[in-house]
Amino acid sequence: MMKKPVNIAITGAAGQISYALLFRVAAGDLLGADQPVILHLLEVPEAMHALKGVVMELEDAAFPLLADIEVTDDAETAFRDADIVFLVGAKPRSAGMERRDLLQDNAHIFSRQGQALNAVARHDVRVLVIGNPANTNALIVQRNAPSLPPESFSAMSRLDHNRAVSQLAAHFDCGVADISHMTVWGNHSSTQFPDIHQLRIAGQPLVQPLDTVWYLRTFIPAVQQRGGEVLAARGKSSAASAAHAALCHMRDWVLGTPEHDWVSMSVISDGSYGVTPGLVFSFPVRCRQGRFEIVRGIELNDFSLDRIRLSEQELLAERDMVAHLLPH
Amino acid sequence: MMKKPVNIAITGAAGQISYALLFRVAAGDLLGADQPVILHLLEVPEAMHALKGVVMELEDAAFPLLADIEVTDDAETAFRDADIVFLVGAKPRSAGMERRDLLQDNAHIFSRQGQALNAVARHDVRVLVIGNPANTNALIVQRNAPSLPPESFSAMSRLDHNRAVSQLAAHFDCGVADISHMTVWGNHSSTQFPDIHQLRIAGQPLVQPLDTVWYLRTFIPAVQQRGGEVLAARGKSSAASAAHAALCHMRDWVLGTPEHDWVSMSVISDGSYGVTPGLVFSFPVRCRQGRFEIVRGIELNDFSLDRIRLSEQELLAERDMVAHLLPH
């Protein structure tokens, strides 16, 4: 007996990140090899022709789990009955464009998508914002969807988290699976704070004192600036690694985080660690039975608190810039 | 206890098909969630910078199964100790280029790769040629690697096979998993013959007589010309669907085909069905314990025999064009 298909909506469906994401979702990499899916693909009218080619390729893969594909340029049509929503599409930053202008352009897209979710989404929908600036876009979506629980919304800090884990495994000469209790705090931007004060390797806390020169001058900048490094080498933004992080984020949210570990997710602040309530902020979270919970009781030193405040200030400034699109 | 890593070599590693393939291999979509892999990535020197970006993204995904990544522009280095080889890279057809010229240019690439495999590959290596013209490229590789068993080499007809299965599921209004006993015969080209005379739906042979008008005028051309349709819509060749087909081909070869079904693989002809021995030709095959076997005893009507001869003639002509690169 086949399970009932899960409805998965993806925006910016003809773009590079979606191209890496769609085939893995259809192959069962998100929800497992026994869970059929229906893909709801949203694109702007100009990209419909290219999206048709992507749909042909999805058909040509003959995925047994892919029960149906719906294509639309209307957000309400895409989000109706969706269980899971990946908001991938965003206007990219063009040469010479200020972050402020990027924020404004995307704010309009995401406020409309929030309204569409508010009108038609399932009450238990899970939304992940990947399009940048992801945290503030997620805030806009959430505030424009007041009939849905605030815990329905998240933004992606998992790519930063995964990048940090990979760098740590190389530094400590261990496998990535040996690294646990890594946290990325704050905004998915250059103010993000990759925190390794709770780090464990193969379940054990670090015994040697932290090499602060390496930590401050090598590790933190390497994680913060990794996106730019990839762009410089590939000539294109991270796509397959971003899609993989999106799968990790959503899979952990739906199916649960590993025992004895946590992951980094940007979610609505409840005031934990002094972060302004309502901001979409990256915290350490554990997920059980389809719900996330911010990990409590981590002791933060002054350095860490400073870094967290810095990223919070940036998010407050971004919030102010889009205040006209944030209904109460 | 972790399994010993499997060494997987991929050529054209910075290209579009490889970009779709690498992350799925590293995620466990090829050999399963308990099988570590080492990726050996081969590229031409001009593409090394872009490949560096792909490697960074592979690192950034923090795949627990990805034990190591080796990057090189030397074929012998890439193929040394390889268990599985995907020959993806090929010179693409440029505007105004004749198929004959494409064949010659690629023939030189693949004869050198065959020699490299001959020099350093494991005796039980499995090689899949994806770069076009795939069947004749595979023939060149095989003939230049005389110390390896001829059954080590194959070319990809699985994308055609999967496309046919998808079209059939749509036509017969069933799931793709209900379609079985589909065969693509011949060359991966417009002479390929998608044969549904043995087709079963949910295990049952077709009860109604075949709609020959649909079969000849709609189905066969649709499968043969699908690649061009995707190219026209996407503005780029099939990549993710080709990568998926490569995974299906290799997974079935290594882990076995489903009970009570077969798949289409281009392999060295043993003379079955009158096909010239030694040609790399798409047949129905079953795989068990890591070895393929051409399905015997299928009765072919005159129409099918004609189609098979036509594709064979094309492959013989291609073989003649590269005869100077085919040592005995």
Tens of pLDDT, residues B14-27: 999 999 999 999 99
Sheet of strand B153-155, all strands in order from the earlier edge strand to the far edge: B66-72, B37-42, B6-11, B84-87, B126-129, B153-155, B263-268, B280-288, B291-294
The SS3 call for residue A149 is coil
Candidates A21, A57, A174: best to mutate against B (most CBs of B within 10 A) is A57
The SS3 call for residue A187 is coil
Name the residue among A50, A60, A234 with its Cβ closest to that of B50.
A234
Measured between CA atoms, the residue of chain B closest to residue A228 is: B53
Name the residue among A49, A231, A244 with its Cβ closest to that of B233.
A49
Tokens of B17: 């098909």
| B260-295 tens-digit pLDDT | 999 999 999 999 999 999 999 999 999 999 999 999
Tokens of A234: 């590939």
Closest to A232 (Cα-Cα) out of B271, B199, B53:
B53
Measured between CA atoms, the residue of chain B closest to residue A15 is: B234
* Contact across the interface for B241 and A61, Cβ inside 8 Å: yes
pLDDT (tens, 9 = 90+) of chain A, 328 residues, equals 679 999 999 999 999 999 999 999 999 999 999 999 999 999 999 999 999 999 999 999 999 999 999 999 999 999 999 999 999 999 877 777 777 888 898 999 999 999 999 999 999 999 999 999 999 999 999 999 999 999 999 999 999 999 999 999 999 999 999 999 999 999 999 999 999 999 999 999 998 888 999 999 999 999 999 999 999 999 999 999 999 999 999 999 999 999 899 999 999 999 999 999 999 999 999 999 999 999 999 999 999 999 999 999 999 999 999 999 998 7
Shortest Cα distance, chain B CAs vs residue A236, angstroms: 9
* Contact across the interface for A233 and B49, Cβ inside 8 Å: yes
Measured between CA atoms, the residue of chain B closest to residue A68 is: B175
Measured between CA atoms, the residue of chain A closest to residue B61 is: A241
Query: Which residues of B are catalytically annotated?
Result: 188
What is the distance between the alpha carbons of residues A29 and B20, in angstroms, rounded to a whole number?
14
What is the distance between the alpha carbons of residues B133 and A96, in angstroms, rounded to a whole number?
44
Structure confidence at residue B88 (pLDDT) = 98
Closest to A242 (Cα-Cα) out of A19, A6, A69, A36:
A19
Structure confidence at residue A305 (pLDDT) = 98
Structure confidence at residue A1 (pLDDT) = 61
Structure confidence at residue A96 (pLDDT) = 76
The SS3 call for residue A290 is coil
Shortest Cα distance, chain B CAs vs residue A48, angstroms: 9
Shortest Cα distance, chain B CAs vs residue A324, angstroms: 36
Q: How would DSSP label each residue in B178-211?
A: GEE--EEEB-SSTT-EEE-TT-EETTEE--SPP-
DSSP state of A215: I
* Contact across the interface for A241 and B61, Cβ inside 8 Å: yes
Compute CA distances B120 → B7, B148, B155, B292, whole Å. Answer: 13, 10, 21, 23
Structure confidence at residue A11 (pLDDT) = 98
* Contact across the interface for A230 and B57, Cβ inside 8 Å: yes
* Contact across the interface for B63 and A240, Cβ inside 8 Å: no
Per the annotation, the verdict on A188 as an active-site residue is yes
Shortest Cα distance, chain A CAs vs residue B242, angstroms: 8
Chain A residues with CB under 8 Å of B22 CB are 240
Structure confidence at residue B102 (pLDDT) = 85
Measured between CA atoms, the residue of chain B closest to residue A232 is: B53
Tokens of B110: 């693949």
* Contact across the interface for A235 and B50, Cβ inside 8 Å: yes
Model pTM above 0.80:
yes
Name the residue among B20, B54, B61 with its Cβ closest to that of A234.
B54
* Contact across the interface for A240 and B19, Cβ inside 8 Å: yes
Please state the rounded mean pLDDT for residues B67-79: 98
| B87-114 tens-digit pLDDT | 999 987 777 777 788 889 899 999 999 9
What is the distance between the alpha carbons of residues A152 and A101, in angstroms, rounded to a whole number?
27
Name the residue among A20, A29, A61 with its Cβ closest to that of B162.
A61
